[in-house]
């Protein structure tokens, strides 16, 4: 991981950037268009959206306006919970693709493990993958038991699991399970939505390395082998967040950050959600 363009190789051989921009809670229209364009200008290749973010059109518009060849980019979207099921997922995929204005998608994710539905949803993703409409398929918010359930009888193993991951929620067991099974883990809310920025240990490390707290956290993700997709709507932060390829945290400092784990979530619990 030496540059912003460096990639991990998914188990099907597809290259996925280690770093990208998330656009959760970024407004459709000029706000999302600007954020995505600034990111691409700054060298980002990967953009993470979802049907439920209601900004896929703006993401697509920004991609067109950025003028970068499509094949250089890595675009992720996700099927929302109410659309889960086989036929409804296939239809939701077409709607997302129309909004994005893309010929193919790089990564399609099952957004949450909706009980009684996610396996049918997964069959639809397998079909989209086999039809060549999406380069890679994966899941999001899956715990070990959800993954075991999918792995028990899937035809194609998920390539990615995108989960809440930051120094307060280090997810050691899940990360190990994903690594053992060739599933790339990806961090959502890597900055704990801004809540960790004045944590004293992180502030001290930021001073030591001459970096910001956000940069220390994002570097910790990468050194743990976790893809990361921080969100910002501010140009200077979009640039700052990606400037993490010129330093390395020592093993001792990695361990200090590991020590901040409290198994504490900022988002919903995948074993107990009702949406
Ligand atoms: N699969 C899922 O269920 C799921 C759930 C949540 C999120 N996600 C994905 O993960 C992405 C990231 O997570 P997130 O948006 O929840 O939170 P996040 O990236 O942890 O934090 C974003 C917050 O931090 C601020 N911020 C960003 N960079 C900063 C910096 N350098 N210094 C200070 N503050 C900074 C942003 O404010 P400004 O915008 O004002 O800069 C925003 O308030 C999402 O956008 C989405 O793509 C997926």
DSSP output for 203-251: HHHHHHHTS-HHHHHHHHHHHTT-EE--B-S-HHHHHHHH--SS----H
User: 16 CB under 6 A from ligand 1?
Assistant: no
Residue 1 pLDDT? 83
Measured CA to CA, the distance from residue 241 to residue 273 in angstroms comes to 30
Measured CA to CA, the distance from residue 99 to residue 77 in angstroms comes to 11
* Ligand 1 pocket: which of 188, 197, 199, 239 to mutate (most atoms within 8 A of CB): 188
User: 55 CB under 6 A from ligand 1?
Assistant: no
Contact of 28 with 58, CB cutoff 8 Å: yes
Measured CA to CA, the distance from residue 171 to residue 177 in angstroms comes to 10
Residue appearing with tokens 């909706």: 114
**Terminal CA-to-CA distance of the chain, rounded, Å?**
37
The CATH number of 10-198+225-235 is 3.20.20.100
User: 241 CB under 6 A from ligand 1?
Assistant: yes
User: 268 CB under 6 A from ligand 1?
Assistant: no
Contact of 183 with 161, CB cutoff 8 Å: yes
Three-state DSSP class for residue 38: helix
Q: Which atom of ligand 1 lies closest to the CA of 191?
A: 20
CA of 238 to the centre of ligand 1 (A): 11
pLDDT in tens, the chain (275 residues): 899 999 999 999 999 999 999 999 999 999 999 999 999 999 999 999 999 999 999 999 999 999 999 999 999 999 999 999 999 999 999 999 999 999 999 999 999 999 999 999 999 999 999 999 999 999 999 999 999 999 999 999 999 999 999 999 999 999 999 999 999 999 999 999 999 999 999 999 999 999 999 999 999 999 999 999 999 999 999 999 999 999 999 999 999 999 999 999 999 999 999 99
Residue 53 pLDDT? 98
Q: Which atom of ligand 1 lies closest to the CA of 194?
A: 24
Annotated catalytic residue 104: no
Q: Which atom of ligand 1 lies closest to the CA of 238?
A: 28
Contact of 111 with 50, CB cutoff 8 Å: yes
CA of 156 to the centre of ligand 1 (A): 30
Q: Encoding tokens for residue 220?
A: 């910790």
Q: b/e per residue, 247-273, with b = 16+ CB within 10 A?
A: eebeeebbebbeebeeeeebeeebeee
Ligand-binding site membership of 146 (annotated): no
């Amino acid at each position: 991981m030496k540059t912003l363009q460096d990639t991990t190789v998914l188990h099907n051989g597809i290259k996925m950037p280690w770093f990208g921009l998330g656009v959760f809670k970024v407004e459709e229209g000029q706000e999302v268009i600007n954020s995505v364009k600034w990111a691409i200008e700054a060298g980002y290749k990967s953009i993470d959206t979802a049907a439920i973010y209601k900004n896929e059109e703006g993401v697509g518009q920004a991609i067109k306006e950025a003028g970068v060849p499509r094949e250089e980019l890595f675009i992720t979207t996700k099927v929302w919970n109410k659309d889960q099921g086989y036929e409804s997922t296939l239809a939701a995929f077409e709607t997302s693709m129309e909004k994005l204005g893309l010929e193919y998608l790089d990564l399609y994710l099952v957004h949450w493990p909706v009980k009684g539905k996610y396996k049918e949803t997964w069959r639809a993703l397998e079909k989209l993958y086999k039809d060549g409409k999406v380069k890679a398929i994966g899941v999001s918010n899956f715990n070990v038991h959800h993954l075991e359930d999918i792995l028990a009888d899937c035809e194609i193993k998920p390539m990615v699991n995108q989960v809440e991951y930051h120094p307060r929620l280090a997810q050691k067991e899940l990360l190990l399970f994903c690594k053992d099974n060739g599933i790339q883990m990806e961090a959502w809310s890597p900055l704990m939505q801004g809540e960790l920025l004045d944590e004293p240990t992180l502030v001290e490390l930021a001073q030591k390395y001459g970096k910001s707290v956000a940069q220390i956290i994002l570097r910790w993700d990468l050194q743990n082998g976790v893809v990361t997709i921080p969100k910002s709507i501010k140009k200077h932060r979009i640039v700052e967040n990606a400037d993490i390829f010129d330093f390395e945290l020592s093993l001792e400092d990695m361990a200090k950050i590991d020590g901040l784990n409290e198994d504490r979530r900022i988002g919903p619990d995948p074993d107990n959600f009702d949406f």
